[in-house]
Structure 1
Amino acid sequence: MVFDKNILLGRIVDDNTWWQDRKIPFYDEFSKRRYYDGFYELVSQKFPHRAVVLMGPRRIGKTVIMYQAIQDLIDSGVDPKRIFYFSLDTPIYTNLALEDLVNDGRSINEVSLEGAYIFFDEIQYLKDWEIHLKSLVDRNRKTKFIASGSAAAALRMKSIESGAGRFTDYFLPPLTFAEYVDLNGYDNLLTETEVDFAGPRRFFQCSNIEVFNNHFVDYINFGGFPEIALNSDKVKNPERVIQKDITDKVIMKDLPGLFGIENTLELQQFFNVLSYRTGEILDYKKVSQETKTDNKTIKKYIKYLEAAFLVKVLHRVDLSAKRFKNITQFKVYLTNPSLFTGLFGRVADSDERFPHLVETAVYAQYLHREHEFLRYANWKVGKDEGEVDLIQVSNNFQEVRWAVEVKWSDNPKAGKLKKFMLKNNLPKGVITSKTKFEDYDDLLIVPNSIYAYVVSKNALDKLDKEII
């Protein structure tokens, strides 16, 4: 269908209101995430000449930080008429080449592209987007291009294949627990302390762990999505928002479009099973029986769900932290425990599934650290068997750097963890609890809520140092 050119140009003008007002209307309504500064540094960076590809799941603030970047560019002195924004899920833009959109926008303002900033939101809706974007980058050496997309892994794979040297990927994770606490002002419950675990780390203690745990429970249910987490009193039926606007759209729209999936109902049912089993050890036989799918389809669907950033697979090592030649079991985590709420409803801390969601929430704080080799340990040697929930190994699998056992209890048992530590010459381990905080020479017992905050807080502090 060919739209009237005036309708197209009118839509572009409507979407770029700062050309006249020099202001994003809702700019002041949204707090900046801690990941914003790193993104804006790439946006404002002149060299090397690369497009910025902002990646992450749905509804975690990608469009918001693009608008925030536009406002900061204007405030820094960039001509508003040289800043263009196109949301490629807009029906009137369907099947239009990126270059045609840019030329249409430029013609309205009668400006050159030199020194311009071009924002493409939801770029995955354009077929072969990476080829179009690469061409624009190559032919416009003095123009900055910024794109966003929801299917993170798929975008990364395509950018590596077709955009080598032209694209810089920037990952925006779901709202971390440290962001959730700090942005809501709950950090007044915390005081900084020190523990010695895998080298000195910034740790915190809590003046009222019961209240802090209540915030942790709320985070598990709704905290991964900024719009809900920071406006909980204004959002009606948050469970429905998560289901309809996030999981359903990804399963029914994004993935079929990216991978040509026809049986979306089967994929939805498969995702439901994995979601319910988040944090559990699974094997292909068990998953095949529960989902009535073969191993080839299981692997394919997991790849799709990882591409859409709905799940993350964690691989297994043995008691000596060595990999298995034949992969028969694995763990699958929801990338955000709030996704469970969208599918199955709000979960109380007394629910039988809640410990698995606690483990999911702890793991989620590590998602931005993809370069680290995270695994879980599981072994059975004769009558001796055990598991450690989360470990970090060196990239050659010759050294275990730390190990964590996640428990939702104030009487956690550390026997299996200590066996793993002894086998791998690990001087100190961590076991999480509900409210207990005790620091021994070989073991740190720390509440899950504190540990989740510490992991994400230290990561954000490290991010700030990298920006500086």
Structure 2
Amino acid sequence: MAFDKTILTGRIIDDNTWWDDGRIPFYDEFSKRRYYRGFYELVTQKFPHRAVVLMGPRRIGKTVIMYQAIQDLIDSGISPKNIFYFSLDTPIYTNMPLEELINDGLSINDVKLEESYFFFDEIQYLKDWEIHLKSLVDKNRKSKFIASGSAAAALRMKSIESGAGRFTDYFLPPLTFSEYIDLNGYNDILKETEVDFNGPRRFYKCNDIEKFNNHFIDYINFGGFPEIALNSEKVKNPERVIQKDITDKVIMKDLPGLFGIENTLELQQFFNVLSYRTGEILDYKKVSQETKTDNKTIKKYIKYLEAAFLIKVLHRVDISAKRFKNITQFKVYLTNPSLYTGLFGRIKDIDERFPHLVETAVYAQYLHREHEFLRYANWKSGKDEGEVDLIQVSNNFQDVQWAVEFKWSDSPKAGKLKQFMSKNNLRKGVITSKTKFEDYDDLLIVPNSIYAYVVSKNALDKLDEEILY
């Protein structure tokens, strides 16, 4: 539908407020996440010449770190008029080619495309976005293009297929537990220590584990989303914010737009069932009965929900860490335990579902490590049966590198974990607890809250090292 060009011009000007005074009004209100540094390194990288594709679920700060990058570019000496931002979920931009948007922006400021920066937010709303972006990268060697999107799996698939050598993917996960603790200033009750786990490892102890656990419970309920986690006293009815602004928009808007889904009510009900069962072992027969859907539809919906980064599927191995030929069971985790709050309300540590949310929260700290082969072990042979919640295997599935069993108890039983360790020549395993911290020769018992903090903290420290070196 044709419209007055001045409307488009006005929208572009409104979205690029820094053109006037070189400042973003709300820039100083937001703390920088630890993941920002790695993103900004890619934004300013001159060689190799690639577009940056920022991926992650809704409302975890992608737009904010784009704005932070824009402000830092300006502060580094880049002219504000050479930096352009377009939010592609804005209706006025619907079906507009990226090149046309760029030309409109350049004509407003009367600047050249060379040495300019272009930020495209929620790029998945543009049909064939990867073709448009690849073309821009190939034609314009002195300009920088940065895109973001909420459908991580779908974006990555298209990025790999069409953008080989032209795009660099950067994944921004929900707020990790260590970020939540550090940004809120709660880390004053932690003390660094060392444990022996495949060699000396940095760990933390806590002089008030009950207080630290309360922070962990708050994180489970609301901590994955920076806007809520860092401004909890200002957000009224955070459960509604999570439901309406995140799950409902993804189910009702993002997924239908990406995959042409018509029966969004059925998909919503399916997601509700998986969310309630987060951290449980499921099988196709049970899910089919509970959701009244066939196996083909189940696999399709799981693919959609993974693409929207609402869930993550964990696959099964046996007691020898070998894969099964026929996949009949699996685990599904919410990528962010706070999604449970949006659907079913906040949860207390005495709730019967709480241990599954604890496991979900700890598993969420591993989401940035997608290149690693994480699995769960489950076996049954005669009277012998058992399960280990999380293991890491080598790429060829020949070796088990570590194994963890999650418990919300101070009397955790490690019999099945030790059986698995013996079978796979593991010297030491980890079992989590509620408050107990004990370091034995063959077993580390550590509170879930401490373990979640350590996993996410070490990952971010490793990311910083990769940037430095």
Instruction: Give the aligned partner of residue 359 of structure 1.
Output: 359
SS at match of 1:39: helix
The residue aligned with 1:375 is 375
Contact 1:3 1:92 in 2 (8 A): no
* In 2, Cα distance between equivalents of 1:208 and 1:29: 30
Q: Secondary structure at the match of 1:409?
A: coil
Deviations 1:27-46 (A, max 9, x none): 00000000000000000001
Does the aligned pair in 2 maintain the 1:56–1:152 contact within 8 Å?
A: yes
Distance (Å, rounded) in 2 between the aligned partners of 1:392 and 1:403: 7
Alignment of 1:148-227 (within 5 A): 148-227=148-227
- Map of 2:445 onto structure 1: 445
CA distance in 1, matches of 2:380, 2:149: 42
Specify the SS of the correspondent of 1:145: strand
Which SS does the other structure have where 2:217 is aligned?
Answer: helix
Quote how far apart the aligned CAs of 1:150 are: 0.2
Q: CA deviation at 1:200?
A: 2.3
Do structure 1's residue 2 and structure 2's residue 36 form an aligned pair? Answer: no
CA distance in 2 between counterparts of 1:181 and 1:48 reads 36
Once residues 365 and 59 of structure 2 are traced to their aligned partners in structure 1, the CA distance between those partners, rounded to angstroms, is: 18
**SS of corresponding position for 2:411:** coil
Question: 1:398 and 1:139 mapped to 2: Cα distance?
Answer: 45
1:350 — aligned with what? Answer: 350
Match of 1:78 in 2: 78
1:139-165 residue CA offsets vs partner (Å, 9 max, x unmatched): 111100000000000000011111111
Distance (Å, rounded) in 2 between the aligned partners of 1:4 and 1:64: 30
Kindly provide the amino acid, as one letter, of the partner of residue 62 in structure 1. K
The Cα shift of 1:2 comes to 1.7
Matches within 5 A, 1:314-333: 314-333=314-333
RMSD across aligned C-alpha pairs, in angstroms? 0.5
1:392-419 Cα shifts (integer Å, max 9, x gaps): 0001111110000000000000000000
Matched, 1:304 2:304: yes
Cross-structure match for 2:399: 399
**C-alpha distance in structure 2 between counterparts of 1:198 and 1:457, whole Å:** 18
Amino acid of the residue matched to residue 73 of structure 2? L
Report how far residue 201 of structure 1 moved: 1.8
List gaps (5 residues or longer) in structure 2.
none
Which runs of structure 2 are paired with 1:19-418 in the superposition (5 Å)? Answer: 19-418=19-418
| CA–CA distance in structure 2, aligned partners of residues 41 and 425 of structure 1 | 41
Deviates more, 1:90-99 or 1:37-46: 90-99
Tell me, yes or no, if the aligned pair for 1:198 and 1:401 is still in contact at 8 Å.
no
Deviations 1:203-245 (A, max 9, x none): 0000100000000000000000000000000000000000000
SS in 1 for 2:188: helix
CA contact (8 A) 1:194 1:204 kept: yes
Q: Deviations over 1:363-402 (max 9, x none)?
A: 0000000010000000011101000000000011111100
Offset at residue 10 of structure 1 (A): 1.1
Q: Identity, % of aligned pairs?
A: 88
Give the residue type in structure 1 aligned to 2:138. Answer: D
Give deviations 1:221-278, integer Å, cap 9, x for gaps.
Answer: 0000000000000000000000000000000000000000000001000000000000
Cα distance between partner residues in 2 of 1:204 and 1:134: 45
Task: Give deviations 1:75-133, integer Å, cap 9, x for gaps.
Answer: 00001110000000111111111101000000011111110000000111111111111
Instruction: State the TM-score, normalized to the length of structure 2.
Output: 0.99
Secondary structure at the aligned position of 2:326 is classed as: coil
The CA distance in 1 between the partners of 2:10 and 2:327, in whole Å, is 55
Q: Which amino acid in structure 2 is aligned with residue 213 of structure 1?
A: N
Separation (CA, whole Å) in 2 of partners of 1:368 and 1:296: 29
**2:303 counterpart letter in structure 1:** K
Secondary structure of the residue aligned to 1:236 is: coil
Q: Give 1:202 shift.
A: 1.4
Write the distance in 2 (CA, Å) between the matches of 1:10 and 1:201. 55
Spell out, residue by residue over 1:426-464, the C-alpha distance to the aligned partner (whole angstroms, 9 max, x if none): 000000000000000000000000000000000000000
* 1:86 aligned counterpart, secondary structure: strand
CA distance in 2, matches of 1:333, 1:197: 26
- 1:466 corresponds to 2:452: no
Distance in 1 separating the partners of 2:69 and 2:117: 10
Distance 2:199 2:43 in 1: 34
Structure 1 gaps, min length 5: none
CA-CA distance at 1:7 after TM superposition: 1.1
Runs of at least 4 residues of structure 1 off by over 6 A?
A: none
Cross-structure match for 2:12: 12
1:287 is paired with a residue of what secondary structure?
helix
Aligned residues, how many? 468
Task: Give distance in 2, aligned partners of 1:254 and 1:165.
Answer: 27
